[in-house]
Structure 1
Amino acid sequence: MTDFLLSLMPIVVLLVCLLGIKLSAKIAGLITFLMAFAEFVVWTKPGVLGAVITIEKGLMMAVFVGLIAFGAMLLYNLVDISGGFSIINHYLSNVFQNRFVLFLMISWVFSAFLQGIAGYGLPAVIATTILMKSGFPAAKAAAASLLGHSWAISFGSMGSSIFAIDLVTGTPLKGILVSMSHYGSVGMLCCGLGVCFIYGGMTYVHKGLKYVVPVWAAMTASLIVMAQYEMVSVIGFVTGIIGVVVMIGVYRVSDRAERTPISAGQKRQLAGSVLPYLLIILFSLTFFLVNPDLKISVSFPGYETAGGINVEAKPDYVVFNLLKYPFTIIVITTIISLGYYLRIGCLDRKQAGFIIKNTAKKIIPTEITLLFLLCTASIMMDGGMTTILSTGIVELTGRGYPFMASVIGMLGAFITGSNTNSNILFGALQETAALSLGMAPALMCATQSIAGSVGGAIGPTTTALVAAAAGKSGQEIEIYKYTLLPTIATAVVLGLANIVFI
């Protein structure tokens, strides 16, 4: 029992710092890391060499995931400051004259497309702003945007959450990704119906089926196919693009809506707005087919602690496949898009410099948090804390653990405010628990990630951010009145699905 409580202590400290004392994520991450490191040194006794190796693992994981996060934010800022999102938003608002369908489109599908490029609450903020400008109530707009895009968080930010769980587990990535596409489909459907419920109760859940079901089927097909080919960096926004296209088609057919006339100039503007996304798809597919073998691999030796724990050597612990690495693709895309925008006058050189500064300003707190939490995760894995926790939880829940996996994932995102952080902290725990029960670790890891993704809809930090955009700061309870029930219901459905699939 003492070992279990000591292993649980870093998570308890993080919980108290974030929800009790209400410290910033980076400060809470620092305190949690120091707590875990102190336990590691005193309890596990890794020695100087062992401690250095373990911290280096965390640092390398932070570099790998952090560069992707930086690139995702960079591309988002490029399109935003060049006016791309305004053009896309104006087009969608003109297409959808049915207010219910516009509400569903922006909060469930378009926000998911935005999530594919950059997360950190920005898709929900943008969707909320659009809906409010269209005349929807602030609390409903915020709640629908939070819930609607949450299913896509695991597949967003150029795959940073997927890479995170891959780095902290030993299960083959393809198995996790394919399972994530199946569970992601479940979460996607629940979120779509949840948005309909937020709009107008069960009446609109029934009315929304003719829009939700075909769009859900198309996006599910996209998720499954792209997961099979491990198209990690583009799986999110490609699925979102397909959802947008299918929603427009379904709306025109079911509502007999006329096509909105677009001038040649507007078509050029719209094409320019989506240029970066088209380039990312092009380069991702090209490098996938060519499969260039330009890799930088980082390996770590094993060691034995004075506490009797044998930490295995980790060959190829972090592998940078240079031309298939999302950050490289983003940099190439950004350079080409920036040159094009400068040439056509969408940007000037001063704005180009501002994009880089603004990206650094916004992403640095996230990078710091990632660094501390990844080092903490490395400590917990090498120090045996993850194994002790998973063993204790399995003994407590037994064969009911598959349902608990969904609860853990959702709580992880609620506590840390991030699906990526939840995967970092609990990915290895879920894998270890599955192996000890003789269950498929890929399914458990997938449940962890998708439940954590949906849990982002009720995360205090994200909710506060969106509440501020909606003019509801200090009135977050109005938003929670709409998000709590469908979010918890989705987590329950995911837990039951895991029991069935396991």
Structure 2
Amino acid sequence: MPLNLLTWLLAFSPVIVVLVLMLGLRWGGSKAGAMAWFVAVLVAFFFFGAGPRLIAYTQAKAILLSLDVLYIIWTALLLYHIADESGTVRMIGTMLPALTPDRTMQGLLLGWLFASFLQGMGGFGVPVAVSAPLLVGLGFSPIQAVLMSCIGHGWAVNFGSLATSFQTLLAVTNLPGTLLGPPSAALLGISALPCGLIVAFIGGGWEGVRRTFPAVLLLSVVMGLTQYGLVVARVWTLGATGAALVGLMVGFALTRLPVYRQTNGQSLTSWVDENGRRRSLPVAFSAYAILVVLAFGINLIEPLRAFLDRFQFTLQFPELRTALGWVTQAESGRKIDLLGHPGAVLLYSSLLAALIYRRAGYFRPGAWKRILTPVVRGAVNSSLGIVAMVGMAVIMSNTGMTNLLAEGLSRNFGAAFYPLVAPFLGALGAFITGSNNNSNVLFALLQMRTAELLKLSVPLILAAQTAGGSLGSIMAPAKVIVGCSTVGLGDNESVVMRPILFYGLLPVAGVALLTVLFLWLGVWS
């Protein structure tokens, strides 16, 4: 297919459909994704030479890729709602601000550290939905609460939710995590600093920033280095979780300093719930402790890892060729580790935690109905949207549409300027679709192909893509709507959108500058 304005627009048309439907008409991701998939199929069939056989095989590939991600989404939501039913989430959210009377520090504990921890464990809108009302309860305005909880966890999105977005990046590009992990962890680890400073500014103004800057700087360094170390150690599924957990522990320690010190003497070993029942903090945290132990054990104990790796599922796909001559070589589909997959680790943790909570008396009658109902409700729409978006992305890739887009971009943005564009493209995808995961599905192959054509570092450009998507997801209307709905701003999301776009673009710009700097230094070249 020759490259010209018409063919480039045809190749871009599925993405345009997503843009128009989600931004202009405010359709949900599942509906917009389905329509974009339909447009992709039509364009591929009528203009790019895709026959029924090719379309069928691309959708089989897409389903396999989707299962790799959906395995995590469903089990991550299950673990979160089990912990929520036990009172663990409320317990943590109530005890954190009791550590310090400093208002800005309270905002950082809940809007930055706790929200990042929730992103690491569950994600998918959970950090905003949980943190925002807790911040309002502390006296922050609803607008402040939504802004702080959205901005605060942006750096943790890529390696949060058991690295769902990163797993998608690996699945779509078919590149190893050892290659893409370090630059992604570096860009996002450094981004923890602006996220924390913005939360401090929203919560306490310039005075709050001045007073808490040493703490924010220290916490950013600690969390960034922890995440980088976990990713380099190939435990990227716990990258954000481990980093945020260490950040919380250091944050607890910082509240002992005179400037932030605890004044109310509340016990940190137990908690009395709204019904007067005392609950143990170690028992409440057992779900996350089990998850950490299992994830580390499965990833670091080689004999166990080797045993679990025996149970894999994949499919073989033949060579695919369009009528215009675009060839996709025969290949294996995405391998899914049935027993060692991050989704399996989440499932093991969920079941063990449920057993512990039940024996401790933390579950009330009807608990499983209250757990499973929101799991299904929250996961179904996400699942449909992911399947549709992945289907669209795979058919675009296997018919040469993505390559044509990349070729057009490479001709219009030279090697000197494209690194500045890459993270904003990732952010745009996340803003449109509501998730870094879908942004990687939409644009990862495009970014990879463009980097190859411009002879830029593929790992670094893909890291910029997923870092931009991670930070861009905090500005997504879907997340803003979730946050606003929990603090009484259900019909006034517009009052949040303008400031969140301003604040949210600052870390993305930082990633763009870091990408240029790393390329200039020859890092990950």
> What is the TM-score when the length of structure 1 is the normalising length?
0.96
| Residue number among 222, 228, 251 corresponding to 1:247 in the alignment | 251
1:281 is aligned to 2:292 = yes
The Cα shift of 1:205 comes to 2.5
What are the residue-to-residue correspondences of 1:321-470 with 2, within 5 Å?
321-348=337-364, 350-399=366-415, 400-470=417-487
What are the residue-to-residue correspondences of 1:93-492 with 2, within 5 Å?
93-255=97-259, 257-258=261-262, 260-262=265-267, 265-266=270-271, 269-288=280-299, 289=301, 290-292=304-306, 293-294=309-310, 295-315=312-332, 317-348=333-364, 350-399=366-415, 400-492=417-509
Higher helix share: 1
- Alpha-carbon distance in 1 for matches of 2:56, 2:459: 30
For structure 2, the 5+ residue unaligned runs are 272-277, 520-525
For structure 1, the 5+ residue unaligned runs are none
The Cα shift of 1:284 comes to 1.2
Indicate how the Cα distance of structure 1 residues 312 and 173 shifts in structure 2: closer, same or farther if over 3 A, else same: same
Secondary structure, counterpart of 1:155 in structure 2: coil
CA contact (8 A) 2:102 2:260 kept: no
The Cα shift of 1:348 comes to 4.2
Letter in 2 for 1:280: L
Indicate how the Cα distance of structure 1 residues 256 and 350 shifts in structure 2: closer, same or farther if over 3 A, else same: closer
Letter in 1 for 2:501: L
Letter in 2 for 1:382: N
The Cα shift of 1:268 comes to 5.8
Q: Per-residue CA shift, 1:47-106, capped at 9, x if unaligned?
A: 232221111010111111111111111111100111111111122122122111001111
CA contact (8 A) 1:10 1:32 kept: yes
| Residue number among 73, 88, 91 corresponding to 1:87 in the alignment | 91
Indicate how the Cα distance of structure 1 residues 132 and 42 shifts in structure 2: closer, same or farther if over 3 A, else same: same
CA contact (8 A) 2:219 2:251 kept: yes
- Alpha-carbon distance in 2 for matches of 1:162, 1:210: 31
> What is the TM-score when the length of structure 2 is the normalising length?
0.92
- Alpha-carbon distance in 1 for matches of 2:17, 2:268: 57
Query: What do you get for the CA RMSD once the two structures are aligned?
Result: 1.7
Letter in 1 for 2:330: A
Q: Per-residue CA shift, 1:345-366, capped at 9, x if unaligned?
A: 1114621233123211111000
CA contact (8 A) 1:338 1:352 kept: no
- Alpha-carbon distance in 2 for matches of 1:210, 1:263: 25
CA contact (8 A) 2:105 2:260 kept: no
- Alpha-carbon distance in 2 for matches of 1:348, 1:182: 43
CA contact (8 A) 1:107 1:195 kept: yes
- Alpha-carbon distance in 2 for matches of 1:228, 1:218: 15
CA contact (8 A) 1:111 1:145 kept: yes
CA contact (8 A) 1:296 1:319 kept: yes
- Alpha-carbon distance in 2 for matches of 1:387, 1:210: 46
CA contact (8 A) 2:122 2:161 kept: yes
Indicate how the Cα distance of structure 1 residues 246 and 200 shifts in structure 2: closer, same or farther if over 3 A, else same: same
CA contact (8 A) 2:426 2:464 kept: yes
- Alpha-carbon distance in 2 for matches of 1:29, 1:388: 21
Secondary structure, counterpart of 1:262 in structure 2: coil
- Please, which moves more after superposition, 362-371 or 269-278? 269-278
The Cα shift of 1:208 comes to 2.2
Letter in 1 for 2:342: P
Q: Which residue of 1 aligns with 2:275?
A: none
